[in-house]
Amino acid sequence: MENIELASLIKANDKPETWVEYRDGITFKLTYLSRPELQKIVKRSTVFKYDEKAKTRVQTTDSEKLTEEFCKAVVKDWKGVTFRSLATMTNIDLKAIAEERRDFEIAFSHDNCVTLMREAYDVDTFIQEASTDIRYFNAGHAEEIKN
């Protein structure tokens, strides 16, 4: 049995990135989100509001701010997001897009990412789960982990 201090092994400042496939050819470039970093994002998204009924301040999470902070920290790029693929994820006016443009890739931006996470039901869940699953980011060490 080896006696070791686990804290000495944690790569606190290491933020590995990887491409993760979502579905239908859509991939997201994600940064691993450590538990302490997630806690910081949640803390920055916490607000206090006055509750009239209870006559006291209550702590709550500002979900809009949380989505923005989370997206900024985790999603760095995407591939394969087109007008046609958007129409499979959320309610967009596809008729407003000319047929020949429907398969053009939409450029990644922080604002577009936040909008997609707010509007498409399972995109935010997928990104949250993938960005906190270290197995996606340790792919290069798969053999080392197995042995």
Q: Tell me the CA distances in angstroms from 146 to 9, 72, 142, one per residue in order.
A: 18, 33, 6
2 in a structural domain: no
Distance CA 126, CA 123 (A): 5
1 in a structural domain: no
120 in a structural domain: yes
57 in a structural domain: yes
10 in a structural domain: no
| Residue 58 host element (H or E) | strand 56-61
Question: Mean pLDDT over residues 90-106, rounded?
Answer: 90
Q: Is the pLDDT of residue 140 over 70?
A: no
Q: Is the pLDDT of residue 113 over 50?
A: yes
58 in a structural domain: yes
| Number of domains into which the chain is organized | 1
- The 10s digit of each residue's pLDDT in 29-85 is 999 998 889 999 999 999 888 888 888 888 888 899 999 999 999 999 999 999 999
- For residue 146, what pLDDT is reported? 43
One-character DSSP codes across 12-56 = TT---EEEEEEETTEEEEEE---HHHHHHHHHHTEEEEEETTTTE
6 in a structural domain: no
Structural domain span for residue 33:
16-137
Q: Is the pLDDT of residue 131 over 80?
A: yes
pTM, full prediction: 0.80
75 in a structural domain: yes
Q: What percent of the chain has pLDDT over 70?
A: 88
